[in-house]
């Protein structure tokens, strides 16, 4: 299974399967375990945003590659 959700959306459901609400990252993919609901309801999500032309030569990587930056999105 691909651990990154291509839709960037979580569905919160009751134990019987009824949909309570949907939480969605803004214009980004998200990892299936990077949602942290809070009692205040702001639901921070870790979202992954591509960044092109990153130079990874300092750590033995290629000089120009696309990497994923992590951003915290709040609802």
Find the domain containing 10 and state its range: 4-73
Q: Are 28 and 4 in contact (CB under 8 A)?
A: no
pTM, full prediction: 0.59
pLDDT, position 7: 58
pLDDT digits (tens, 9 = 90+) for 27-42: 777 766 677 778 887 8
Residue 4's pLDDT is: 47
Question: 27 in the Ramachandran plot: left (φ > 0), alpha (ψ -120 to 50) or beta?
Answer: left
Q: Which residue has the tokens 């919160």?
A: 12
Cα 61–Cα 33–Cα 65 angle in degrees, nearest 5: 20
Distances (CA, A) of 20 to 11, 12, 23: 8, 6, 10
**Domain count of the chain?**
1
Alpha helices in 1-75 (DSSP H): none
Give the residues of the chain that fall short of pLDDT 70: 1-8, 31-33, 75
């Amino acid at each position: 299974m691909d651990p990154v959700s291509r839709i960037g959306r979580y569905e919160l459901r009751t134990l019987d399967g009824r949909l309570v609400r949907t939480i969605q990252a803004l214009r980004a993919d998200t990892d299936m375990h990077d949602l942290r609901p809070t009692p205040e309801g702001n639901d921070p999500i870790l979202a992954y945003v591509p960044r092109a032309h990153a130079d990874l030569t300092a750590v033995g990587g290629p000089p120009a590659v696309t990497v994923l930056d992590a951003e915290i999105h709040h609802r």
